[in-house]
Amino acid sequence: MKKNLLTLAAVFLLTTAINAQLYYETWSFGASFNSVRFTSDVQAEPIDFGGDVYLQYDLSKYHAIRGIVDFGLFSSTHAPVFGAANPLSTTKIGFGADYIFKFFNEGPIYPYGGAGFQLIYFDVANNSIAEGGSGSGEGVFGELGAKIFAGAMIDIIGKQWKLKAEFTSLTVSTDYFDGTRGQQGGIFGGTLDSYIQAGFGIHYYFNTDNPVMEGPVGLAAADVDYDKIDAINKKYAADSYSSQINNLQVSIERLESKIDEMVKRAPMPDQHPAMITGFKSLYFPTDNKVLTFDSYKDLVEMGEALKRNTSVNIELTGHADNTSTKDYNMTLSKKRAESIKEYLVSQGVNASRISVQYKGDTMPLGDNNTEQGKAINRRVDVKIIK
């Protein structure tokens, strides 16, 4: 039995590591069960209950907003005045809006914090003052609440479901929320009433089109050398295409011996284009129109061969993986194909010999669910045409 439990735990941890992911530019829904507690003028019961539901929109990788409706039932351990039969209790409903800042985007645990405000209805039963209602539905509507909160989400099975834990402190714009007047104002002081809340619930993303990370993280990506990819990007990325050409000249000098050998083997102008065996596809890092190091070498060889064989025309077709939106990927694939043409023209190949088309993420050759497959799909195909 113990062995089976350990196996199930290992499978759960493996699954959450593989699916560790957040999303942006998308809607999500959540619900929580809460434990609420007065922190103002009365002695609160150890455990009171409440709940909330909310609709959230993730604006970007770090920022989100949500509309939230919550409910709380608060009670005290003693009557509000000497000789009263029953302790006071407060029923509260809040309608609010929150801002959320996500501190980290790499799971399986995602901490966040934020602040918000509420429009509050509450009704106090057995209260010791005239304000606040009688506990029979004759409560107060229109008081404001200001809150701060911190929490974290953790991956469950699958990409769209998360568990959520959150702690909240809320101050109400009145001193009769707890049914009595006093000087105690909660954990931040003052005379206005306040309460704290600890919640545990679930969070569900309606779609996963825009993942924050560019591919699976954790155990599923252990075979990808991200440090090497980042070093290549930093080394060869440039602020403008002219800077990229300057970097390319450095690569040409380093590869001079190989280029000379290639030029000697290149077909002469009087040879038929069919004697050229073809050109390799050119590959790119994620969300970039700058070639990888190996593809730079292939592009140099292509330029030299085209200059020696002026009767050869080519067609460039740009592609992208599915990391971003359809429209963005279409534009990115166009930029990739046009950047290759721009370089070849700068090296002396007539622009009329090069045609360009682009397909976005509509023609993948690899599996877009893996980092290796995505790397294959970030390409420009080169085709020899008459």
Please give the single-letter amino acid code of residue 261.
E
Mean local confidence (pLDDT), 236-250: 57
Instruction: Give the pLDDT confidence of 197-229 residue by residue, as tens digits.
Output: 999 999 998 987 777 754 433 333 344 555 666
Measure Cα distances from 248 to 238, 251, 291 in Å. 11, 5, 10
Q: How many residues does the chain have?
A: 386
Measured N-to-C along each axis, helices 293-308 and 326-346 cross at an angle, to the nearest 10 degrees, of 50
Query: How high is the pLDDT of residue 83?
Result: 45
Q: Answer for the pair 269, 310: CB distance below 8 angstroms, yes or no.
A: yes
pLDDT at 132: 53
Q: What pairing do the DSSP bridges indicate for beta strands 313-318 and 354-358?
A: parallel
Judge whether residue 251 has pLDDT over 90. no
pLDDT of residue 177: 78
Q: Which residue has the tokens 């190989």?
A: 258
Instruction: Identify the residue whose tokens are 């002396």.
Output: 348
Residue range 120-131: mean pLDDT, rounded: 72
Say if 2-205 and 226-385 have the same CATH topology. no
**Range 2-205 classified under CATH 2.40.160.20:** yes
| pLDDT beyond 50 at 253 | yes
Instruction: List the single range of 76-85, 177-186, 321-330, 340-349 with lowest mean pLDDT.
Output: 76-85
Domain ranges of the chain: 2-205, 226-385
- Read off the pLDDT of each residue in 304-314 and give the average, rounded to a whole number: 90
> Which pLDDT does position 252 carry in this prediction?
61
Helix 293-308 / helix 226-236 crossing angle, nearest 10 deg: 50
More confident residue, 143 or 276: 143
Task: Tell me which DSSP letter residue 137 carries.
Answer: S
Residue 163 structure tokens: 């568990």
- pLDDT range class, residue 56, cuts 50, 70, 90: very high
pLDDT at residue 97 is higher than 90: yes
Query: What's the mean pLDDT in 327-344?
Result: 92
If you search the block for the tokens 């001193």, which residue do you land on? 175
- Residues 144 and 120: beta-carbon distance below 8 Å: yes
Which residues are CB-neighbours of 265 under 8 A, at least 6 positions away?
Answer: none
Q: Decide: 58 and 95 in contact? Cβ < 8 Å.
A: no
What DSSP string describes 217-280? -GGGGTT--HHHHHHHHHHH--SSHHHHHHHHHHHHHHTHHHHHHHHHHSPPTTS-GGGS----
Q: Residue 104 and residue 176: Cα distance in Å, rounded?
A: 39
158: helix, coil or strand? Answer: coil
What's the pLDDT at 186? 55
Both tokens assigned to 345: 């023209």
**If 0-12 CB within 10 Å is exposed, 13-18 middle and 19+ buried, where does residue 365 land?**
exposed
Reported as a single tens digit per residue, the pLDDT across 157-195 is: 677 888 999 999 998 888 777 777 666 655 555 678 888
Greater pLDDT, 313 or 217? 313
Instruction: Give the mean pLDDT of the chain.
Output: 77
Q: Which CATH class is domain 226-385?
A: alpha beta
Cα–Cα dist 257/75, whole Å: 84
